[in-house]
Structure 1
């Protein structure tokens, strides 16, 4: 690419970026925070999100789950094989994911807490998430019991019927069918309007995207000058590697709940220099990799770098996502990069209907079970299934260790949620 063209593109980017910031501030009169005031605002946003419902509190307060694991009678839990686990397996962390060739499956979509640990922890956390969704939906208590029974049945199916794992379309509940249909029909324009509000090559500043400093911008641009990182954008959807990947725009991304306060950036790239349509544009999510709070098994070998750990966990648990991720270093911290595809969606199950409650629980547990089972040989799967069923009783189909764990956790999180609301309300009033 000629030098004059590169110089023109750099000037054009600078002018577009400044005009965009000025217009957003003037027309929408947004109070956009600077770098120095981010943390306080992010903490307030996180507290507000967690105060919305018990289910939201469970999603944003992973630490309370791990605290319970440390204090619980661990001897009553089955000791599963050393397996990569999600570590934060709630309903919002599952959803449709596209691979590099556009094939779509529902898999685990957030691996910040992934470690090699006890797979029982994922099943318990998923059960807690579903139970709080049931309570938020005002379902009768017996329905919650039925959901936990269905949860265990779906998870066990992944180990008992390994040969039939891929034929799951008929097993999807309506909520999964709806989100899959949405994922299949989506294009770049859907992603752009949802994330960027338009299809122009800029990131709109506002509540979700905040401006970054010139130093942050320079470090992000330097990151994409590396071939190993630039290839993340050029390798997907058959894009030709015709030249350098160019950073068109970048912003701090106010996203998630438990991740608020970490490094998080949205980066808009031009892949082939044309900026003609969606195939030329690429939206990258950069997220800081932090030390996992999830308990890991002792003496297992995992990457010491937290970004590399997340990528390796994704490759084992969610192959569609793992092949689209890279680890790197930004501002001296480990970060994970992945391209956001239009087909990547989350299952929003804040509430669950009475008629679908059991099918939702069964199906989501099946997805998690498959992620675990694909890492085990036939004998290990058989032994793990036998170990899980060890404390089943005549009164219910789920083992007692699963039911009693979820019961304790629902109680402690209900208390924690109300206490959080009290503290948040007092802080907001002050």
Structure 2
């Protein structure tokens, strides 16, 4: 297992990879987030993981991969928001990883085993019920409640200037990205020039080229699984004036780590960035702002509006009631069902009638719940093995 982790992360930016390994050492939930490639290699040999309808899946569905964002219509939404691992796979794959994340995250979220079991059942029941109804909806500010409603209200009321001030600093009359070693690192001259040259060419293809005039570039630190992959935060002119600036995210796209374990034929995508963006557009009712598959000199990237890692709900039971957590998990179950319905019948995915039947006939749920407990135990064991190796210096850069 240790060699698998080292091989999977080979070639990544050493500075950010060091941060990734350190984060993975913190607890089993973060370890799970950083080792998606291990998870599917240990998929239980149960019929539900082969016979479930084929759907477009996130691939890395877990509690932290739901969040809020501004859509390309500039309204705020809550949805699945990470598609690095997305592929065509049995619907049960996303469900298993999500349920496993609840079990594994229980301790860090101050949940008892019985409370985690309850949340797993709430998620599955909500998913099945929404799938059985056969109609895809979405979560926005006016239709959301509880913790998610509060998050979307905060995003709607957030002033652009305040957000920019939290991620940038002003030197003279110039606004520059804040290099703090936590969210951003200094790029090399070559990296800066590469990003600037790319965006200058990209801008010419857009309706308002001046919007994409580069003001500053930094290497971005965000997420867990993708840490070490080439990623930048770009400050652009936007609507003009310091408070009219925008922050964009530019992230390298790599092959999905699920591919070695798939027997399903995948579409022939132009690049991995095109794969991720296409599936994201199918999943979400409204796409994230500035979402584009693009190409830099060293391969495919995804360009999009910068999505702060803070734009997620807190599921810590020490801070939230169990009823509030149930309501949030229930919404997540609905979102997954709606996403599968919305993307049904596309390039090999099951049609809605097949998905509706899957949601109506729920005899597979107990099998899935039992499998998720077993997977959680495996993640815990792998996390302990990783921790021991980390402490022995196996992951020193």
The TM-score normalised by the length of structure 1 is: 0.78
- Give me the whole-angstrom Cα distance separating, in 2, the residues matched to 1:171 and 1:271: 30
Q: Unaligned stretches of 5+ in structure 2?
A: 1-10
- Give me the whole-angstrom Cα distance separating, in 2, the residues matched to 1:429 and 1:277: 42
Aligned length: 375
- Give me the whole-angstrom Cα distance separating, in 2, the residues matched to 1:178 and 1:144: 23
State the partner residue of 1:185.
157
Is 1:226 paired with 2:201?
A: yes
Q: Give the SS at the match of 1:110.
A: coil
State the partner residue of 1:427.
393
Q: Quick check: 365-374 or 127-136, which moved more? A: 127-136
- Give me the whole-angstrom Cα distance separating, in 2, the residues matched to 1:125 and 1:49: 20
Matches within 5 A, 1:396-415: 399-415=365-381
Q: Quick one: which of 25, 29, 36 aligns to 1:51?
A: 25
- Give me the whole-angstrom Cα distance separating, in 1, the residues matched to 2:195 and 2:395: 39
Contact 2:13 2:230 in 1 (8 A): no
Residue 210 of structure 1 and its aligned partner are, at CA, apart by 1.9
Q: Quick check: 187-196 or 108-117, which moved more? A: 187-196
Residue 201 of structure 1 and its aligned partner are, at CA, apart by 1.9
Residue 343 of structure 1 and its aligned partner are, at CA, apart by 11
- Give me the whole-angstrom Cα distance separating, in 2, the residues matched to 1:137 and 1:344: 16
State the partner residue of 1:202.
176
Q: Quick check: 398-407 or 170-179, which moved more? A: 170-179
Residue 111 of structure 1 and its aligned partner are, at CA, apart by 0.8
The TM-score normalised by the length of structure 2 is: 0.84
- CA displacement, residues 175-216 of structure 1 (integer Å, 9 cap, x when unaligned): 212211211111212321332256952112230322222222
- Give me the whole-angstrom Cα distance separating, in 1, the residues matched to 2:139 and 2:302: 32
Matches within 5 A, 1:250-269: 250-269=217-236
Q: Quick one: which of 65, 68, 74 aligns to 1:102?
A: 74
- Give me the whole-angstrom Cα distance separating, in 2, the residues matched to 1:266 and 1:101: 22
Is 1:66 paired with 2:40?
A: yes
Report which of the two structures shows the higher radius of gyration computed on alpha carbons.
1
- Give me the whole-angstrom Cα distance separating, in 2, the residues matched to 1:305 and 1:162: 32
State the partner residue of 2:14.
40
- CA displacement, residues 319-376 of structure 1 (integer Å, 9 cap, x when unaligned): 4335631112223211111122689923343556434343232211111111111123
Is 1:114 paired with 2:86?
A: yes
Q: Quick one: which of 137, 144, 147 aligns to 1:175?
A: 147
Contact 2:57 2:91 in 1 (8 A): yes
State the partner residue of 1:82.
54
Assess, with a 3 A threshold, how the Cα gap between structure 1 residues 167 and 115 changes in structure 2: closer, same or farther.
Answer: closer
Q: Give the SS at the match of 2:343.
A: coil
Q: Quick one: which of 267, 290, 309 aligns to 2:275?
A: 309
Contact 2:289 2:304 in 1 (8 A): no
State the partner residue of 2:328.
360
Q: Quick one: which of 226, 247, 253 aligns to 1:289?
A: 253
State the superposition RMSD in angstroms: 3.1
Q: Quick check: 340-349 or 202-211, which moved more? A: 340-349
Residue 404 of structure 1 and its aligned partner are, at CA, apart by 1.6
Answer 1 or 2: which has greater helix percent.
1
- CA displacement, residues 79-125 of structure 1 (integer Å, 9 cap, x when unaligned): 33332211111111111122122122211111111112222111111
Matches within 5 A, 1:346-357: 346-349=312-315, 353-357=321-325
